[in-house]
Amino acid sequence: MAMIKNKLSREQLTQRVFLSALATRAQLLGLILVFALWTFWINPPQGANPLVIWLVQSLLLLAFVPSIFKGNSRPHIWLCFVILLYFCMGAVYAFGGSTLGLLMALLSCGLFCSAMLFARWNSLLIGVIRDQASADGV
């Protein structure tokens, strides 16, 4: 398997990891907030407990919050798989004419991209740090 050579410096990778982590966190919390606003304020369900509806929609995303804020690559990779479900749900709602669906699809797409880029750049950064440590004889 051919290895992809890294053409970015350690500083550039560190900056990209930081920005993609920030974008991932903001979009994850934004998607949870959109569910909360829609369920509790904009369009509360009739005849059902809004808290239960919101938890069903958001519980999977809420499970990722602690691990995403720790900054490991593996939860970001798993989030990419899970967020595809939310993108599909948003696309179905968007084609039905729902503003929530369009917003959900856009946030899901952005979250997927930022989490994927974080995982990629973080793995490259770890490789650069490991290579520099072995070159220094540590």
Task: Output the pLDDT for position 52.
Answer: 93
pLDDT single digits (tens) 89-137: 999 999 999 888 999 999 999 999 999 999 999 999 998 888 888 877 7
Task: Give the separation between CA 91 and CA 94, rounded to whole angstroms.
Answer: 5
Query: What single-letter amino acid sits at 54?
Result: W
pLDDT single digits (tens) 9-59: 889 999 999 999 999 999 999 999 999 998 998 888 888 899 999 999 999
Q: Are 67 and 5 in contact (CB under 8 A)?
A: no
Q: Are 127 and 6 in contact (CB under 8 A)?
A: yes
Question: If you write DSSP's letter for every residue of 49-107 in order, what string do you get?
Answer: -HHHHHHHHHHHHHHHHHHHHHT-HHHHHHHHHHHHHHHHHHHHHHHTT-HHHHHHHHH
Task: Note the pTM of the prediction, 2 decimals.
Answer: 0.88
What is the DSSP-derived secondary structure letter of residue 42?
A: I
Average pLDDT, integer, range 54-72 = 94
